[in-house]
Structure formats: C-alpha cells, structure tokens
Amino acid sequence: MMFIRIFLCLMMCLTLVSEEAEQKFDTSAFASVVVQHQGRLKPIDTFARSSLLGFHGKQRFAKQQASEWLMDVLTNRNLAYELKVFTIRSPAVVQSIGVKAEKENRYSLAQLKDAFMTHEPLIRALAEREDSELDETETQLVQKYNQVTFYVMLIQSTSCFWPDIVINDAALAKQFGVQPGAKLSYFFFADNRATLRQVLLDSSKKKEADQNYDDSALRDLWQVLDKRPVQESGMNFAVLPPAKGGEQWRSPWDILNASSMNDADQVLMRTLNDAFAALHDGDQDAFNTHVQTYKDAVQYRDRIDLEVSYNSADLFYRAMYFYIGAFLCILVLGMTKQPTWRKLALVLMYTGAALHLTGVGMRMYIMTRPPVTTLYESVLFASLISVATGLLVEHYRKDATGLLAASFIAVVLSFIGFSYAAEGDTMGMLEAVLDSDFWLATHVLTIIIGYGVSMIAGLYGHMMLVQLIQFPEDKEKNKEMLTTARGIALVALFFTTLGTILGGIWADQSWGRFWGWDPKENGALLIVLWLLIAIHGHISGEIKQIGFAMFLSLTTVCVALAWFGVNLLSVGLHSYGFSDKTAVALFLFCGLELVIVTVAAAWAKLKQRELQSAAV
Amino acid sequence: MTDDAPVQNEQVKKVIFWISTPKIFFYSLFYLVAILVAGTLTQSELGIYEAQERYFSAWVTWCFDAVPVPGGRTILVLISFNLFCKLVFKSVWRLKSMGVNIAHIGTMLLMVGALLTAYFSIEGSMYIPEGGSSRYYIDNEKMSFSIIDTSPVEYNNVMAFSGRHLHIGSELKHKNFPGSIKILDYHRNAALELTDEKTTGEWRGWAKRHSIIPKLLEKESGKNRAALVVKVSGCDESSNGWHMVAQVEGPTVEVRAAGKVYQLIIGPRVYQLPHNIRFELVDFIAEYHPGTRRPRHFSSDIRIHQNGTLREARIQMNEPLRMHGYTFYQSSFEQKMDGQEATILSVVKNYGQWFPYISSIIICIGIALHLLLHYPAYLTRIVRMWAA
C-alpha cells in the first residue's frame, strides 16, 4: 500500500508540474478546431505545437501553450513581429544574414525579415541545389528562410477577420449600418459586398453630378480593401471543410478569393469572424460559444479531441520519469541490498510501461495504423518492447537484472525518440509504398520488436561482463546468466530473422525482388548474422562465456547501425531523414561501445585467469 | 584396393567432419559480415547495383583494388555446403535438436532460392506514355551492343551482343555481318567532348571531332551513359576505321558493307514480352495527400493485347499484376510540364520466387521449436503468469 501511495503522490506531482499556473484566455476550445496540414486533418493544437517546434525548438513559447501562442500570432500582427520565436543556434547563419547575435539565440520576425529579404536571391539559389551539395550552414539558412516565410504567411492567414478597418465618416458608417469608429474586418465588407457595390455606385453617380463631392473616406476604405487579398492571401491555413466532392480543405482567404461563396461557407466564415471579434473584445464566453458553433458546423470530430488529450497528456515524457525513477531505485538497491528497492523499481517500471502502452495505443487509434511508421514511433515502440522483455526477464530471474536493462534502455530510447519528435508532426502521412497496414503490422512491427529485444540482449551482455568482472567465482549465477542471455539472443534472432524475411516478402510484393542489397536490408541482415555468430560461436566452442557476452554486448552497435546508420548512405528505397548531428552521435556511440566492451572483456579475462591461478 | 577402402572411408569421414563443423560456419559468417559492411559502405559511392556486383554477388572481391579475396557468393556457397554436410552427415535427428535441424533446412531452401534467383531471374522496366503502348522492357543494369541491318524493307535484322562482350580487346563477329568489330575503348559511364579535328588515327564520322571523357558511375544505373570506341574492319573502305558509339549522345553510327547499311548501337539490354503480349496504358492515376506533393497512391490502368484478345488490368502500389510467370509492379511515373503522364513498371521473372516464402516459414518454425524445447520452464512460467 505504501508504494501505491508513493506512486499516487508522484503522479500528482507530475501532473501539477505540467499544469499551467495562469491562463489569460482559455484556448482549449480553439485548440481542438480541425485544420488540414501536410495532408492530414489534425487539431490546431497539433498544428501549433509542430509549427512552434520548427521555429522555436520547443512545444511551448515562454510560459504559453502552443495554441495560446498561435492565437496571439493569428490575431496580433505587431506582437507576432516582436515575439522572439526563432531559434538560430549557428553563429555562421546569423553572421551570414548580417543580424546582430542575440545571447539566447532567439530572434524575432522584426529582426529577421529584412535580413532574409536582402539575402533572398542567394537563399533561393541555394534552395535550388541538391541537399547533398549544401553544407550545414547553407542547409540551416534555407531552413530558416522557409520558416520565416511560413511564419509571415501564418500571421496573414486570418487577417481577413481582424477588426482593423475603421470607418470614422458618419455618413459612410450609416450606409454600412454601423456606428462611426466601429472596427470592422475585411470579411465584413466581403460579406456585405452588395452594400459595398451600392455605396460605390452611389458615390460614382454623386461624383458625376458634383465634381466637388468629397469621397475621400470611401476612397481610403477602398484602397485598404483592394490591396489586402493580394498582399495577404498566401497562407493555406486550411480550417474550412472542402467543397462538395473534394478533399482539400480551404483557408479563409481561399473562400474569399473564390468567385462565389456558398451558404454553408458563408455561415462558417461569419462564425469565425464573430469568434475573432469576441477574441478582440476579450469576451471569453462569446469566443467559446462561436468556436463551439463553428466546430459543430464543421462536423468533423473524428479522433480530434483524443489527439488534443494525447498532446496534453505527454504520456511518453511521464513514462520516462518513471523509468528514470526505476533506474535510480536499482542503483540504490545495488548500494543498500534492500529488496524493498527492487519492489519499488518494479512498481515504477510497471507504471511507466502502462503510460507508455497507453500512449502507443492512443497513437494507433488516432492514426488507425500500426505504431511503427516513422523513426520517432519506431524508437518509442522498440522502447516499449525492451521494457516488456526486461520485465519478463525480471519475472524469470528476480535479481533486478531485467529491471536494470529495461529501465536503462527505455530511458536512452526515450531521449532518442524525443529528438525525432523535434522534426514536427509525428503523425505525418505515409508515402504511397509504405501505406500498407498489413505489411506495417507484420514486417515493420516484427523487425522493431527484434530491435527492442536485441537492445535488451545487448545490455544483458554488458551486465554479464560486469558480473564476470565482479564475481568471476560465482559459477552458478554466471551460468544462469549465460542461459538467460542465450534465451534472449534466440528470441532476438527469431524476431529479427522473421522481420527481415517478411521485409523481403514485402519487397517482393511491392518492388519485384525479395532481396536487393538495399542498405536497410543489409542492416537488418547484419543483426541476424551477428546474433548467429554469437550463438554458433558459442555452440562450436570458438567463443566461451566472456566472448559470448562480448558479442552479445556489441549487438547494440549492430542495431544502431541498422536502425540509424544505414540512413547516412542516402541510397536505396528506404528513405528517412538524417542529420550530421545524428551521425556524430552514432559514431561516438559505436566507438565508445567498442572500447568499453573490449576493455570489459579483457578485464573479465584477466579476472578469470587470476581465479584459475589462485585455484592452481 | 579392398585394404585401402576403410582408410579412404576414414579420410572421407574426416573431411566431411571437418567441412560440417560449426567453426566453418562461424568464421564464414564473420567474413560475410565484413563483406556486408564493406559493400554497404561503398553503396553511397558506387550505387546499389555496382556494389552488389563487386561485393555481394561476386566470386572474387578486390580488397583495396589490389588483393583478390573471396567474394560474397563464394562465402554463401561455402556456408551452404557446410550446412548441407552438417544436415546430411552430422545432424542428430532427435526431438531436442529438431528445432535447429528444421531451421537449417529452411536456411538451405533459402540459399537454393537465392541461387535460382541469381542465375535465372530477369529484371527490367517498361516505360509507357499515356495512350501509348509497349511490348518491350529494358534492363538498365545490363548493356548490349547491337549491329542492326537496316536493309530489309519491312523489318530490321538485329545482331545483339550481351554485356559480357563489352570489354577492351573483345572482337565482335556475326555470320550476318560481313566485317568485324574490335572494341578499343569502353566506358560504362562517359560524356562526350567536342575537340579539334584529330589528325592522327583512322577516325571516322563524328568521332574525328569528339573525345570520350570517362565519368564515375551514377548511383542509379539508368543515369549512366555508356560510350565505346570500335575498330571496324572488313567493310567498305570508307567505313573501315575507328568509330565512336555512345548511348543517347551523338548521331547513330552507320557502316556500309556489301551494299548494305548497318547501324551500331550501344544501350541497355532490351527484352520482348512473351507470347506476343503488348501493354497499352489507358490511364495513369497519381493521388497526393491533400495540399501536398507527397504521393498517396498511384496506379496504371493497362489494356493487355495478346494475339487478338484484349483484357484490362490495374497495376498499383503493393498490388502487382502476375501473368505467364512474369510480375509487373508499379515502380514509378513521369509527369511532364504539358500534363502528359507516363508509367514506369518493373518487370520481373523469378524462378526462385516462392523459396523465400516457404523457407521463412520453416526457419521460424525451427527457431520457435528450439525455444520451446530448450526453455520450457521459462515459457511455462510466462504462460502461468499471464494465466494468473
């Protein structure tokens, strides 16, 4: 019971940490409005988070939720220009566009826009080149330019609803049926285009009759209205459902720039206009009512609310905290030898796994596809498999080795996964060839399970080496660990072999050949061969226990190369994103692993010899 | 003789015992991993096909371009032989080792399938514009040199030489061609450069003012442009001499002999579809995720003409068309600025196609059985845990 209480306290703390202490304007209704972006229907919350991640590198801006930040950007141009939303860490990029470097590497649109405009021809020329021809600075320069352009268009995307047009002329205001000094949006005039036409006609007639007729108020108004669609219709902020029979959602400017507006569109546009007016007036209730009316009128809620809940729950982060807790408990167990710590670690691991599984399940339900379609997803799923394997080993052995392996791998893989989340929307649409639920659910799922189990096998190899160094005389435990390690290796071999062969069959179905020596295929084969070497080497007596532990440990290197390394080659039919930073991290990991494992194996061998000498 | 027989049998047994030892398997796998890593690393430079030819499908691989070492195919054959000997002469057929034996049988089958595929499969691609048709497919990986007799009015007489003839010093002769052709220079990928008129040598035609500039191989074989210099002899005096033949670039080279005109062509190997089949592309459909240029689905509506009969079929992603032992896959497409679309289909004939399917099932059954037989206590505990 005590542990359950501790947990509940922990969970409450975690929940409280993530809660926003103060909210100026409740954006929750706005966050779940549907938008089509990058081919997918998603809540504005996801759109805001992925956009902010791109610009800022975080899913929150200062203390604001992403949707609050987006609301500011969509409604307040001056503020949007001043927000230091762009993160540029490379001094070379800052220098090349001639902007004064900021201490925190944060820049506003006001600082960057002119600088990028000046260098636009150069950047456009760079953008024409192949990616492989660009160096790191040039790549970032093009990226930042695209982000600035996107941000500018984002600011303009709802400008038709901004109540920033003022009619001070009493006669003119009367003609439109409003009070002098009333703040009106562009949409107001588009919606009252018949009145506007009549006013223009009347004015023209009066001007013909009387040359001295003063129409300056109307001329000023017309100038504003005439320019705006040309200036500000760039952004495809697609929040309005498609026209009948279509799939492409439309932005407010798409509707206004079309030749005519049907009744349904008019209703939706009026509701949005009212919502923006309420926002401008700071009327929370009216805003919520209009947004709700809008959402009801759009009639598309399929899994949208669940996605908003998924975003705000941050289940994978929370799971990671529990894994870290479990790992720390095992360390304390190692120091104190108190079995209570193992139990606590076990509970923490199970809680983390439950959150992790819920997160994976929610993603599957939202996307209606297996949870292994991107590197981000595959890492998180492999992490879950590692946790499950570690817990099974723990049930078998009850000596905390399974917990140690599972918690360590889960934490490491979680961090790797989060780095991929920074690339934007993690639920992106699939390429045509990958869009096969059957093969995703068979080949990709199996191979990722293989990766997960192989990672545990690798870590178990490390633990065997530590055991052999620390307790070379404990023959019984060493033998038990060897038996377990062989079991894990066989399970890993089963899944990697099955996954690799299923991949071959998919390739045969899709591309016409079972095996094409594609780098990704070679990577999978590398793990299979490596596990076969370890198992057969041990069977043939070519490698003993230390050798087997060493080979098993290096499985992690094979998995890293197969999973991430082959993408470095930029060839083949399996294409994924890759950056130089990942390459450096990968080489560093492989190098360190080689050194650590070799030194550990040599040390274990030395200990074994010492023991043998002592026995003699 | 009879006295020697037991000794010989003993020696044979020793050899078989040695060949079937897991040590060979262990060290061969090690070597295979080295070949796999080396070959994969060079793929970024050479492209997938060339790396495959040099490392994985090669009997001999050149280490650092200097030392010949066994290639991937040699090692795979060695592993297969080792496995075969182990299975036949050394395996213990009892329940405990049944899983391992079954997995080994599956692996053997996989190797047999790989062998059939390596030697008997044909791969190529078909390009069909919308509204157009084709009865041919080309293999961009393999080159051929053709001498085409254009003198018959209703047809051309084609004399084709496969890629294995395309090397410096090779002499090409055919009973229907009165002359002979010797290859003086050959490059799988090259560009042509305009030069001053050459004053030395027996250059003919446009070769007088051009040079071949060798280039590194492209990663995609289809982007390579082969070029060669041939010495023609035994033809008319005006045609005898050195000619330059290039893929895509330059005018068609023609030589005259015995009153006939022969064209010299270098290009990818071309195959004709079997049974007089002709594919007509009725419609190509490319769908994108809304608001993006990311393809969601593409398919080709094909009309299949065969000896006066006609039927329709759709080939789309992950759903190929299979007929007469051939499989046609939706591989790629082309969209021109004027809106004209074309489909690119992969064409494969693979006699070993079913081996991976069968062998994979057998291998997985084998490993699963081995796990079940060797870790029953563990599995029982897991089952009990879940049941509880």
- Pairwise CB contact (< 8 Å): B36 & A526: yes
- Tell whether ipTM is more than 0.95: no
Which of A47, A43, A48 lies closest to A32 in space, CA to CA? A43
Q: Are residues B40 and B149 in the same domain?
A: no
Question: Does residue A214 carry a pLDDT above 80?
Answer: no
Q: Which of A182, A203, A233 is the last residue of a domain?
A: A233
Averaged pLDDT, B71-88: 91
B231 in Cβ contact with B115 (< 8 Å): no
Residues A407 and A494 in one domain: no
Torsion sign across C-alpha atoms A495, A498, A500, A503: negative
pLDDT of residue B2: 52
Q: Is residue B118 part of a domain?
A: no
Residues A167 and A86 in one domain: no
The structural domain count of chain A equals 4
Q: Which residue of B has its CA nearest to A236?
A: B291
Give me the pLDDT at residue B4, please.
Answer: 63
Contact B298, B284 (CB under 8 A): yes
Q: Which of A243-252, A315-324, B100-109 has the lowest mean pLDDT?
A: A243-252
Q: Which of A380, A400, A429 is the last residue of a domain?
A: A429
User: What are the φ/ψ torsions at residue A403 (nearest 5 degrees)?
Assistant: -65, -40
- Closest CA relative to residue A307, chosen from A363, A255, A252, A262: A363
Residue A5 lies in a domain: no
| Average model confidence (pLDDT) across chain A | 86
pLDDT digits (tens, 9 = 90+) for A331-380: 999 999 899 999 999 999 999 999 999 999 999 999 888 888 888 999 99
A509 SS3 class = helix
Q: Are residues B221 and B144 in the same domain?
A: yes
Q: Residue A60 in contact with residue A66, Cβ under 8 Å?
A: yes
Q: Is residue B122 part of a domain?
A: no
Q: What is the mean pLDDT of residues B136-142?
A: 88
pLDDT class of A29 with cuts at 50, 70, 90 = confident
Cα–Cα dist A430/A37, whole Å: 14
Residue B104 identity? H
Residue B3: predicted pLDDT: 57
Long-range residue pairs from A130-137, CB within 8 A, at least 24 positions apart, any chain: A132/A570, A136/A90, A136/A92, A136/A580, A137/A90, A137/A92, A137/A93, A137/A96
pLDDT at position A211 is 74
**Yes or no, beta carbons of A487 and B33 under 8 Å apart:** no
Per residue, the 3-state secondary structure of A391-418, as one string, reads: HHHHHHHCCCHHHHHHHHHHHHHHHHHH
How many other β-carbons are positioned within 10 Å of the β-carbon of residue A63?
Answer: 10
Contacts of A509 in chain B (CB under 8 A): 318, 320
Together in a domain, B189 and B304: no
Q: Which residue range is the domain that position B258 belongs to?
A: 139-270
Q: Give the separation between CA A250 and CA A243, rounded to whole angstroms.
A: 8
**Bridge partner residues of B305 (DSSP):** B278, B310
B297: in domain: yes
A411 and A489 fall within a common domain? no
Is A305 within a domain?
Answer: no
Q: Does residue B126 form part of some domain?
A: no
Average pLDDT over residues A389-400: 90
Task: Give residue B90's pLDDT.
Answer: 81
DSSP string of B92-132?
--SGGGHHHHHHHHHHHHHHHHHHHHHHH-EEEEEEEETT-
CB B1 within 8 A of CB B55: no
Nearest to A517 among B37, B56, B363 (CB): B56
Higher-confidence residue of B284 and A229: namely B284
Residues in chain B, overall count = 388
pLDDT at B197 over 70: yes
Does A564 lie in the same domain as A468?
Answer: yes
A240 backbone dihedrals φ, ψ, rounded to 5°: -105, 135
Mean pLDDT check: name the lowest of A54-63, A336-345, B144-153, B375-384.
B375-384
Output the pLDDT for position A578: 47
Residue B257 lies in a domain: yes
- Across residues A81-86, what is the average pLDDT? 92
Indicate if B288 and B231 belong to the same structural domain: no
Could you report the per-residue pLDDT of A282-310, keeping only the tens digit for each? 888 899 999 999 988 887 777 899 999 99
Tell me: pLDDT of A16 over 70. no
One domain for residues A399 and A516: no
The answer on B285 and B204 residing in a single domain is no
Distance CA B203, CA B7 (A): 69
pLDDT band at A5 (very low <50, low <70, confident <90, very high): low
Nearest residue of chain A to residue B54 (CA atoms): A517
Inside any domain, residue B362: no
**Phi and psi at residue A430, in whole multiples of 5°?**
-95, 155
Same domain flag for B182 and B77: no
A451 touches A563 (CB < 8 A): yes
Give the pLDDT of residue B335.
84
Give the pLDDT confidence of A35-79 residue by residue, as tens digits: 998 888 999 999 999 999 888 888 888 888 899 999 888 888 889
Q: Decide: A309 and A283 in contact? Cβ < 8 Å.
A: no
| Range in A229-238, A305-314, A583-592, B39-48 the model is least confident about | A229-238
pLDDT of residue A255 exceeding 50, the answer is: yes
Judge if B253 and B328 occupy the same domain: no
Task: Write the DSSP symbol of residue A369.
Answer: S
The secondary structure of residue B347, as a DSSP letter, is E
Structure-derived torsion over alpha carbons of residues A249, A254, A258, A263, reported in degrees to the nearest 10: 60
Chain B, 52 to 111: residues with Cβ < 8 Å from chain A are 52, 56
Whether residues B263 and B319 fall in one domain: no
Same domain? A63 vs A118: yes
**For B305-339, what is each residue's pLDDT tens digit?**
998 899 999 998 878 898 888 999 988 888 888 88
Do B211 and B258 belong together in one domain? yes
Inside any domain, residue A300: no
Whether residues A533 and A598 fall in one domain: yes
Tokens linked to B388:
């509880």
Per-range mean pLDDT, top range of A595-599, B19-23, B77-81: A595-599
- Examine the domain organization and report whether A108 and A189 are in the same domain: no
User: Judging by DSSP bridges, how do beta strands B177-187 and B171-174 pair with one another?
Assistant: antiparallel
A571 with B367: Cβ contact below 8 A: no
Domains in chain B, number: 3
Query: Does one domain contain both A352 and A376?
Result: yes
Please check whether residues A177 and A136 belong to one and the same domain: no
Whether the CB-CB separation of B54 and A517 falls below 8 Å is answered with: no
Please say if the pLDDT value at position B220 is more than 80. Answer: no
In a domain, B336, yes or no: yes
Question: Looking at residues B26-34, what average pLDDT do you find?
Answer: 92
The count of CB pairs under 8 A between chains A and B is 173
Average pLDDT, whole number, for chain B? 87
Among the candidates B243, B270, B297, a domain finishes at B270
pLDDT over 90 for what percent of chain B? 38
Q: Are residues A467 and A611 in the same domain?
A: yes
Residues A405-457 have pLDDT tens digits of: 999 999 999 999 988 887 778 888 777 667 677 777 888 899 999 999 999 99
Query: Which of B245, B270, B295 is the endpoint of a domain?
Result: B270
Q: Which member of A395, A497, A512 has the closest CB to residue B320?
A: A512
Q: Chain A, 140-169: which have a CB under 8 Å from a chain B CB?
A: none
Task: Please determine, for residue A15, whether its predicted confidence score (pLDDT) is greater than 60.
Answer: no
Let me know if residue A274 belongs to a domain.
no
User: B190 with B298, same domain?
Assistant: no
Last residue of a domain, one of B270, B299, B317: B270
Pairwise CB contact (< 8 Å): B40 & A570: no
- Looking at residue A435, its pLDDT comes to 67
The beta strands (E) that lie in A283-397 are given as none
- What would the DSSP string read from start to end of B189-236? SEEEEE-SPP-SS-B-GGGGGEEEEE-PPPSSGGG---EEEEEEESS-
The partner residues of B129 in beta bridges, in order of sequence, read: B342
Q: Roughly what angle, to the nearest 10 degrees, separates helices A304-313 and A339-367? A: 150
The secondary structure of residue B178, as a DSSP letter, is E
**pLDDT value, residue A231:** 59
Residue B261's region, left for phi above 0, alpha for psi from -120 to 50, else beta, is beta
In DSSP terms, B253 is beta-bridged to B264
pLDDT of A356 reads 97
Q: Answer whether residue B172 is part of any domain.
A: yes
Q: Is residue A116 part of a domain?
A: yes
Q: Which residues pair with B211 in a beta bridge?
A: B193
Percentage of chain A beyond pLDDT 90 is 39
- B186: pLDDT strictly greater than 90: yes
Note whether A380 and A399 are same-domain residues.
yes
Q: How far is Cα B324 from Cα B304, in angstroms, rounded to an integer?
A: 13
Q: Give the alpha-carbon dihedral of A597, A603, A608, A613, to 10 degrees.
A: 160
**pLDDT, average across residues A224-251:** 78
Q: Which residue of B has its CA nearest to A488?
A: B371
Say whether both B259 and B335 belong to one domain: no
Range of the domain at A190: 163-233
Please indicate, yes or no, whether residues B310 and B296 belong to a single structural domain of this protein. yes
State the pLDDT at residue A580.
62
In this model, does residue A17 exceed pLDDT 50?
no
- Is B44–A532 a contact, with Cβ atoms under 8 angstroms apart? no
- The answer to whether B29 contacts chain A (CB < 8 Å) is yes
Cross-chain residue pair B290–A518, CB shorter than 8 Å: no
- Residue B371 has its nearest CB partner, among A490, A505, A572, at A490
Residues contacting B38, CB < 8 A, separation 6+: B55, B61
In-domain check, residue A156: yes
Q: What is the per-residue pLDDT for A570?
A: 62
Q: Which pLDDT band, with edges at 50, 70 and 90, does B378 fall under?
A: low
Q: Are strands B190-194 and B241-246 parallel, antiparallel or unpaired?
A: unpaired
On whether the CB atoms of residues A278 and A26 are closer than 8 A, the answer is no
In 3-state terms, what secondary structure has residue A307?
helix
Contacts of A487 in chain B (CB under 8 A): 371, 374-375, 378
Most confident region among A184-188, A360-364, A515-519 by mean pLDDT: A360-364
Radius of gyration, alpha carbons of chain B = 28
Looking at the complex, does the CB of residue A422 fall below 8 Å from at least one CB of chain B? no
Q: Given pLDDT bands bounded at 50, 70 and 90, which one contains residue B126?
A: very high
The amino acid at residue B254 is E
Please say whether the dihedral angle defined by the alpha carbons of residues A505, A508, A514 and A518, taken in this order, is positive or negative. Answer: negative
pLDDT in tens, A263-285: 889 999 999 999 999 988 888 88
Residue A180 belongs to some domain of the structure = yes
Q: Do A48 and A54 meet the contact criterion of CB atoms below 8 Å apart? A: no
Confidence of residue B20 (pLDDT cuts 50, 70, 90): confident
Residue A280 lies in a domain: no
Dihedral pair phi/psi, residue A434, rounded to 5°: -85, -10
* End position of a domain, from candidates A387, A403, A429: A429
Q: Is B141 helix (H, G, I), strand (E, B) or coil?
A: strand
Please tell me which of the candidates A236, A502, A515 has its beta carbon nearest to residue B291. Answer: A236
> Tokens standing for A55?
């610009």
